[in-house]
Amino acid sequence: MIDYLITVNEEETQLKKSEIASLDTISIDSATFHLLENNKAFVVRIVHSDFLNKTLIISVNGNNYEVKIEDEYDQQVKKMGLLAVTAQKMNSIKAPMPGLIVDVMVKVGQEISEGTPLLVLSAMKMENIILSQGEGVVKAIEVKKDDTVEKGQLIIEME
């Protein structure tokens, strides 16, 4: 079985963990890497990341690409047709990982729809924009800018 299914601008590629581990990369800063592949040099920069949906927008030598990463678990869920479960309306937004709140983009009482940016969470040297998974009204915001959060901690309550 393939380890990862990578979709770049709608084109799918299959990669094994060993292939990814063998990449010749050097980290320049938290979002920029130098990559050598077949004696060619590439500068790869993470422009935007969406941790929950496992998507990235990366710039490779100045050209932007939309990347979606599916691991073995994601592929199995998709194959079994269980993706509808992830589309349920949520009454609360919890931190998907430990990190630092960089920005809160909504206010109490604000009506939001699916995909509305809620806040920016900095984790693992990357800024992640947390998006609403459903519609509703912001009932309470349990965090503020510069707060640290733990994985699973309540950050926004919806009604």
Rounded average pLDDT per 10-residue block, the chain, 159 residues: 83 88 89 92 92 88 92 79 53 88 93 88 86 86 94 90
Structure tokens at 82: 């269980």
- CA neighbor of 123 nearest in space, from 24, 42, 68, 49: 49
Is residue 93 located within the same domain as residue 132? yes
Residue 109 lies in a domain: yes
pLDDT given for residue 83 in this prediction: 57
pLDDT given for residue 82 in this prediction: 60
Q: Which domain holds residue 92?
A: 88-158
Is residue 64 located within the same domain as residue 95? no
Residue 79 lies in a domain: no
Domain CATH code at residue 135: 2.40.50.100
Asked which of 25, 49, 74 is the last residue of a domain, the reply is: 74
Compute the Cα dihedral for 29, 129, 15, 40 and give only its sign: negative
What is residue 19's three-state secondary structure? helix
pLDDT given for residue 87 in this prediction: 41
- Number of C-beta neighbours around residue 46 at 10 A: 17
